[in-house]
Amino acid sequence: MTDLTSLTLAEARKGLADKTFTSLELTDAHLGAIEAARVLNAFVMETPDQARSMAKAADERIAKGDAGPLAGVPLGIKDLFATKGVRTTACSKILGNFVPTYESTVTSQLWRDGAVMLGKLNNDEFAMGSANETSCFGPVGNPWRREGSNTTLVPGGSSGGSASAVAALLCMGATATDTGGSIRQPAALTATVGIKPTYGRCSRWGIVAFASSLDQAGPIARSVRDAAMLLRSMAGHDPKDTTSADIAVPDYEAAIGKSVKGMRIGIPKEYRLDGMPAEIEKLWEAGAAWLKAAGAELVEVSLPHTKYALPAYYIVAPAEASSNLARYDGVRYGLREQGKNVIELYENTRAEGFGAEVRRRVMIGTYVLSAGYYDAYYLRAQKVRTLIKKDFEDCFARGVDAILTPATPSAAFGIGEKGGADPVEMYLNDIFTVTVNMAGLPGIAVPAGKDGQGLPLGLQLIGRPFDEETLFSLGEVIEQAAGRFTPTRWW
């Protein structure tokens, strides 16, 4: 039998249905891989007992012929999703040993469809970061290394644990969240597929909130088809989230292999940055050529407000975060640091419980929302956001079906290499991804090639609202042309 951990989700589904192996065998193979890869620090909580009992239940359902669409496939869950009875911390000290008494809607739908939980995955604290270095559990290692080098690189962030675990074949797929790029950027840096669906596609209920008007859940997977399978289970209307859209979820897998002939692909000229590495430029051209060869038509488009997206995002996101994080006060859950009075208790708890990046965001957010500065910063950023959204609307109104861009401005970098002296250096990672969140659109990152040092690079496709299907069709064309990439095991 081939190594069970190297199968795609779609292949595992077939093997399980054909009774070539059981879910318990598949789950045990992944639990073994997790144990052997602890040096990557991808998991912050392993749940082997729960995994095995879920796998046995899945095997019984399969035997009875009553298997759900994800029956028996072992997944990892970002530690931002509340999991009933299993510690959920958002990788922040302030949540301490918080154990939710409820399950997030997205994860409950995965369990409804038969998936198996292997454990909780590392992420940047409250999902604030682009390198998974702000986690209270420490950084995550990228399974990819530069050729001939032993330096451990970051997997990107904030869903660094999800991307690393999927790339290192520790789980067959993972949940992730994306506020400014946290699904697509780590996917690109690890040669995995990540899709941030349209805002409202997946319920945010039971997901630790960062910036509520931007946050979306989505999968990180080994292939475009696997991502389509996972998203189908994760998506759907939820009355418990008033921003969740009451729109039927299509069978995303049916979009795989569909012809892209005649589709119009926008190439935004503003994404051609000064000083962009030649390798990224080359990759972008290759992606455009593959889509053209598949029958798509390339058109140059303009998204003129792109240059304001990053500054506007770093006002809107901290503003919402400062409000969302007000609830962590040492009274209701998690960490409590005593003080002489209740104010001191709040102050001590928040000073001790939040890491440096989270404190920075809370301070920026409080500042831009304060009476004297609200109009100059927050209100202005909201106006910019409307203009960014309009840029995309104008583009789609011209008959563009999707937009092709690089996913990241560079390949993976070393732990501690960026943002130490100037946080903006880290924020620049999100240059190609934040506009998509600001506009609420779907975006997929697909592995497309390697740089000169053998590190993976990804391309991004941006779609119309609720048209994830087109992204799956086009994403698969890129996947077919570029091939799939697996890191050489060193751990």
Q: Which of 78, 196, 418, 450 is catalytic?
A: 78
Helix (H, G, I), strand (E, B) or coil at 154: coil
In the complex, least distance from residue 66 CB atom to ligand GLN, rounded to whole angstroms: 37
Q: Does 271 bind ligand GLN (CB under 6 A)?
A: no
Query: Residue 199 or 396: which CB sits closer to ligand GLN?
Result: 199
In the complex, least distance from residue 59 CB atom to ligand GLN, rounded to whole angstroms: 36
Q: Does 130 bind ligand GLN (CB under 6 A)?
A: yes
Helix (H, G, I), strand (E, B) or coil at 169: coil
Binding segment toward ligand GLN, per CB under 6 A, in 50-58, 121-129, 332-340, 463-471: 121-129
Per-residue buried b or exposed e for 186-220, using 16+ beta carbons within 10 Å of the residue's own CB: bbbbbbbbbbbbbbbbbbbbbbbbbbebbbbbbbb
Binding segment toward ligand GLN, per CB under 6 A, in 29-37, 175-183, 372-380, 473-481: 175-183
User: From CA 28, how far away is CA 40, in angstroms rounded?
Assistant: 19
Q: Which of 92, 158, 233, 322 is catalytic?
A: 158
Residue 148, Cβ density class (10 Å: 0-12 exposed, 13-18 middle, ≥19 buried): exposed
What part of residues 17-36 is at the interface with ligand GLN (CB under 6 A)? none
* CB-based contacts of 483, cutoff 8 Å, min separation 6: none
Contact in structure between 411 and 451 (CB atoms under 8 Å):
yes
Contact in structure between 402 and 474 (CB atoms under 8 Å):
yes
84 belongs to the catalytic site: no
* CB-based contacts of 228, cutoff 8 Å, min separation 6: 252, 253, 255, 256, 472
Query: Residue 78 or 305: which CB sits closer to ligand GLN?
Result: 78
User: From CA 149, how far away is CA 232, in angstroms rounded?
Assistant: 39
Q: Does 181 bind ligand GLN (CB under 6 A)?
A: yes
Which pair of tokens denotes residue 144?
């990819």
In the complex, least distance from residue 369 CB atom to ligand GLN, rounded to whole angstroms: 17
Q: Does 158 bind ligand GLN (CB under 6 A)?
A: yes
Query: Residue 5 or 132: which CB sits closer to ligand GLN?
Result: 132
Q: Does 317 bind ligand GLN (CB under 6 A)?
A: yes
Q: Does 310 bind ligand GLN (CB under 6 A)?
A: no
The H-assigned helical ranges of 203-355 are 224-234, 278-293, 309-324, 342-353
User: From CA 427, how far away is CA 449, in angstroms rounded?
Assistant: 24
Given candidates 29, 77, 128, 231, which one binds ligand GLN under the rule CB under 6 A? 128
Contact in structure between 171 and 103 (CB atoms under 8 Å):
no
92 belongs to the catalytic site: no
In the complex, least distance from residue 14 CB atom to ligand GLN, rounded to whole angstroms: 34
Helix (H, G, I), strand (E, B) or coil at 358: helix
User: From CA 52, how far away is CA 54, in angstroms rounded?
Assistant: 5
Give the contact letters, 210-239, x = binds to ligand GLN (CB under 6 A), - = no: x-----------------------------
Query: Residue 15 or 443: which CB sits closer to ligand GLN?
Result: 443
Query: Residue 22 or 159: which CB sits closer to ligand GLN?
Result: 159
* CB-based contacts of 294, cutoff 8 Å, min separation 6: 259, 260, 261, 477
Phi, psi of 158 (to 5 degrees): -80, -15
Phi, psi of 21 (to 5 degrees): -150, 165
Query: Residue 179 or 470: which CB sits closer to ligand GLN?
Result: 179
Query: Residue 204 or 336: which CB sits closer to ligand GLN?
Result: 204
Binding segment toward ligand GLN, per CB under 6 A, in 17-25, 179-187, 298-306, 483-491: 179-187
Q: Does 127 bind ligand GLN (CB under 6 A)?
A: yes
In the complex, least distance from residue 158 CB atom to ligand GLN, rounded to whole angstroms: 4
Helix (H, G, I), strand (E, B) or coil at 181: coil
Which pair of tokens denotes residue 360?
């920075």
Q: Does 435 bind ligand GLN (CB under 6 A)?
A: no
Q: Does 156 bind ligand GLN (CB under 6 A)?
A: no
Handedness of CA 347, 349, 351, 357 (dihedral sign): negative
Q: Does 325 bind ligand GLN (CB under 6 A)?
A: no
Given candidates 182, 198, 349, 473, which one binds ligand GLN under the rule CB under 6 A? 182
* CB-based contacts of 58, cutoff 8 Å, min separation 6: 23, 67, 71, 72, 114, 116
In the complex, least distance from residue 180 CB atom to ligand GLN, rounded to whole angstroms: 3
**How far is CA 253 from each of CA 183, 223, 479, rounded to the nearest angstrom?**
20, 11, 15
Query: Residue 26 or 461: which CB sits closer to ligand GLN?
Result: 461
Q: Which of 104, 130, 164, 182 is catalytic?
A: 182
Q: Does 419 bind ligand GLN (CB under 6 A)?
A: no
User: From CA 253, how far away is CA 458, in angstroms rounded?
Assistant: 21
Q: Does 178 bind ligand GLN (CB under 6 A)?
A: yes
Query: Residue 226 or 430: which CB sits closer to ligand GLN?
Result: 430
User: From CA 405, how far away is CA 328, in angstroms rounded?
Assistant: 38
In the complex, least distance from residue 161 CB atom to ligand GLN, rounded to whole angstroms: 13
Query: Residue 271 or 346: which CB sits closer to ligand GLN?
Result: 271
Q: Does 180 bind ligand GLN (CB under 6 A)?
A: yes
Helix (H, G, I), strand (E, B) or coil at 301: strand
Binding segment toward ligand GLN, per CB under 6 A, in 40-48, 124-132, 291-299, 465-473: 124-132
**Which spans of this chain sit near ligand GLN (rule: CB under 6 A)?**
127-130, 158, 178-182, 210, 317, 430
Q: Which residues are catalytic?
A: 78, 158, 182
